[in-house]
Structure 1
Amino acid sequence: MTKAKSVTVAICTRNRGPSLERAVRSVLEVLATSRWASDPHFCLLVVDNGSTDGTAECVRRLQQSEPRIRYVLEPTAGIAVARNRALAALDTDVVVFIDDDETVCPGFIEAHLDTYEQQPACVAVGGAMDLYFDTGAPSWVSPALMYLYSSYVVPEGTYRRLEPAENPPFGGNLSLLAAVAHECGGFDPAFGRVDKSLVGGEETVLLEAMRSAGNQIWLTGAARIRHHVPAERARLAWVLRRSIGQGRTEQRSAVDHALGPIVLRLLFGGTRLFAKRRSFRQPVLVEYVVHRAYWVGRLTEAIAERRSR
């Protein structure tokens, strides 16, 4: 077992003051019963990505009861930029990223840090992202669509290395060895959400770079967060926008940029859903429409790439 590592929990936020406060308080609650409860080197870092809703005042109130909360302003919009600002501000070995619309579960910090101490070759750790719909999940949200809400399934008791063919964990429950993240170039600003854009993938690009360098990524079911889904995201219009954003994200990192195959998939793909399910019920119809939206995103991004050449 390697020596214990110092840790920062980082939350990047933009105009979500009440949600941010809920996330911070959940971290403080689990911190109080952890081995870092009185560790002066522990840091809870809030990166304010140009908020205009009083986020700074919210953090100042929280700092009155916990001086280890640190506030950093990053005025340039973009989650990748904000996360890079967090990396630049670190003075700890490990950074654990969570999002401002989450709450963490007991044992969360220990689960991340224990993995590094037990697995010397590990440079990144991912945990479970369990969805919680604030107003209840709509009937048309099938399991096949949960990934659009950043659901990442890691069953309780899981403790293993990420396999080469597996999708890497999401950035809402992800820790990194800071030095290795720097060596691999940090988060690519060409990816990730900027203001209302739903293009993502900045953590995937970094994790693939880390993995390509021969490093290990581990998954642990003991590191769990609850990802809160507000009412405005429990609507089909948002899911369609999110699916378009997913298509644009994947097209940006695609090797093949030919338009023909994308158009064919847009026009004729997805019909196997009906044959496989033998149903035209609402959830299947929604999956079909969302699948079309994904290919609209791929086509939109491919056309934009051609125009930029």
Structure 2
Amino acid sequence: MNQSSLSSSPPVDIIVPTRGRGELITTTIASIRTLRDVHFTLWVIDQSDDDRTEQCVRRHALEDPRICYRRTPTVGASTARNLGVSLGQAPFILFTDDDCYVHPAWASSMLAELRKPSIWAVFGRVLPATHGGENATVLRGGTVAIKPVQEAQVYRGNRLDLSFGHGASMGVRRERMVQLGGFDELLGAGGPLHSWEDRDVGYRILAAGGQIAYTPAAVIYHRQWRDWDAIRRVFRGYAIGAGASASKYVRCGDPVGVAIFTEWMFSQGLRQAFSAILKWRSWPKLQVALEQFVYPWYGFVQGFRYPVDRTHCLYRTGVQPTEVVQAH
């Protein structure tokens, strides 16, 4: 490790939410332990119903004091992330998932962008995993949560362009996360309104006048282990979350929500349908695309079941949201 680079690097909290994955998280933690030129604390927030993940993480924690484990009875990836934020104190926060592993330069590359005062959040490059044959189940046209773009980009102003990346490789400045009110706990895997929490954070950053960086230098690898039934469930969750998010934006007085709703059905419905037919010739992929015309409407209507905090453009859960501590 480059000691001079490490001594000049500010501390970073890395947060990994997990639920019911058992030993799968071992590869994630092992890769994070190889990170170069960054002073980090890893927070594993475990929402599992069994002890398999806890046993795995605690083995790593005994070997590496940078690893902190927290068990919580809560449900939902966004709730877990907010809890992780509240436990740490570092000025910069990185997020990844328990079915990913990171390149040794991932954190330092993310941090290089976050240290720019104008940047509120950063997203990194996400590639299909190839470690240990883990891409053996990749289906034709069936990759999930991939961002292979090789050109850096800064997003500002345009709330319709939410193509900056995925929560599997995401970083934020702590004071900006506090300003935003954290993740929307009704969105995200395990939440009642399903996925889209990462795009929702990006939308709220852009709406508040902040900037988002995408850096291809920060690379992680996402395991593609799902079959077509699981892929359909994932994209169904995206569609519900997109509709619920658009519903929230409209109720908060932003008509761009209607455009986001329409764009989703065009890009993920119509465009993916043509891709399924003309490029992949895949009936399962076409089924996924056709559902994108239906489930956003379901999410849009479901959103009206919940009150909205217009100050932060967050759904209210009816209970006190997970605490997000003030920046130090």
Q: State the match for 1:10 in structure 2.
A: 15
- Please tell me whether the aligned partners of residues 185 and 206 of structure 1 are also in contact (alpha carbons under 8 angstroms): no
- Post-superposition CA distance 1:228-267 (Å, at most 9, x none): 122xx1x222222222222211110224999xx99xx89x
Q: State the match for 2:232 in structure 1.
A: 240
2:103 to 102, 105, 110: 105
State the 1:51 CA deviation. 4.0
Q: What 5-or-longer segments of structure 1 have no aligned partner? A: none
State the 1:116 CA deviation. 2.5
Report the 3-state secondary structure (helix = DSSP H, G, I; strand = E; otherwise coil) of the residue aligned with 2:89: coil
Q: Higher Cα Rg: structure 1 or 2?
A: 1
Counterpart-to-counterpart distance in 2, 1:240 and 1:253:
20
Report the CA distance shift for 1:10/1:214 in structure 2 as closer, same or farther (over 3 A): same
Q: What 5-or-longer segments of structure 2 have no aligned partner? A: 1-7, 308-328
2:112 aligned with 1:114:
yes
2:188 aligned with 1:192:
yes
Aligned letter for 1:239?
A: I
Farther off after superposition, 101-110 or 239-248: 239-248
Report the CA distance shift for 1:291/1:106 in structure 2 as closer, same or farther (over 3 A): same
- Please tell me whether the aligned partners of residues 129 and 227 of structure 1 are also in contact (alpha carbons under 8 angstroms): yes
Aligned letter for 2:215?
A: T
Aligned letter for 1:175?
A: G
2:179 aligned with 1:177:
no
- Post-superposition CA distance 1:262-306 (Å, at most 9, x none): 9xx89xx749956x89859732x4443222112231233345457
Query: Taking structure 2 as the reference length, what is the TM-score of the superposition?
Result: 0.75
State the 1:55 CA deviation. 1.6
Counterpart-to-counterpart distance in 2, 1:273 and 1:114:
38
Report the 3-state secondary structure (helix = DSSP H, G, I; strand = E; otherwise coil) of the residue aligned with 1:64: helix
Counterpart-to-counterpart distance in 2, 1:95 and 1:306:
32
Counterparts of residues 155-234 of structure 1 (less than 5 Å): 155=150, 158-162=151-155, 164=158, 165-194=161-190, 199-230=194-225, 233=226
Report the 3-state secondary structure (helix = DSSP H, G, I; strand = E; otherwise coil) of the residue aligned with 2:147: coil
Counterpart-to-counterpart distance in 2, 1:29 and 1:308:
42
Aligned letter for 1:63?
A: A
Aligned letter for 1:18?
A: E
- Post-superposition CA distance 1:145-201 (Å, at most 9, x none): 54xx1112331xx33312532423211000111121011110111211117x79211
Counterpart-to-counterpart distance in 1, 2:289 and 2:299:
16
Report the 3-state secondary structure (helix = DSSP H, G, I; strand = E; otherwise coil) of the residue aligned with 2:63: coil
Counterpart-to-counterpart distance in 2, 1:290 and 1:122:
35
Report the CA distance shift for 1:64/1:205 in structure 2 as closer, same or farther (over 3 A): same
- Please tell me whether the aligned partners of residues 104 and 226 of structure 1 are also in contact (alpha carbons under 8 angstroms): yes
Equivalent residue pairs, number: 279
Report the 3-state secondary structure (helix = DSSP H, G, I; strand = E; otherwise coil) of the residue aligned with 1:99: coil
Q: State the match for 2:288 in structure 1.
A: 290
- Post-superposition CA distance 1:208-241 (Å, at most 9, x none): 21222111111111100000122xx1x2222222
Counterpart-to-counterpart distance in 1, 2:233 and 2:217:
32
2:120 aligned with 1:123:
yes
State the 1:49 CA deviation. 1.8
Report the 3-state secondary structure (helix = DSSP H, G, I; strand = E; otherwise coil) of the residue aligned with 1:229: coil
State the 1:126 CA deviation. 0.5
Report the CA distance shift for 1:211/1:5 in structure 2 as closer, same or farther (over 3 A): farther
- Please tell me whether the aligned partners of residues 16 and 53 of structure 1 are also in contact (alpha carbons under 8 angstroms): no
Counterpart-to-counterpart distance in 1, 2:277 and 2:185:
43
Q: State the match for 1:81 in structure 2.
A: 79
Identity of aligned residues (%): 24
Aligned letter for 2:235?
A: S
- The CA RMSD measured in Å over matched residues stands at 3.1
Counterpart-to-counterpart distance in 1, 2:215 and 2:47:
29
2:37 aligned with 1:69:
no
Counterpart-to-counterpart distance in 1, 2:303 and 2:281:
35
- Please tell me whether the aligned partners of residues 80 and 193 of structure 1 are also in contact (alpha carbons under 8 angstroms): yes
Counterpart-to-counterpart distance in 1, 2:96 and 2:120:
17
Farther off after superposition, 165-174 or 15-24: 165-174
Q: State the match for 1:22 in structure 2.
A: 27
State the 1:80 CA deviation. 0.8
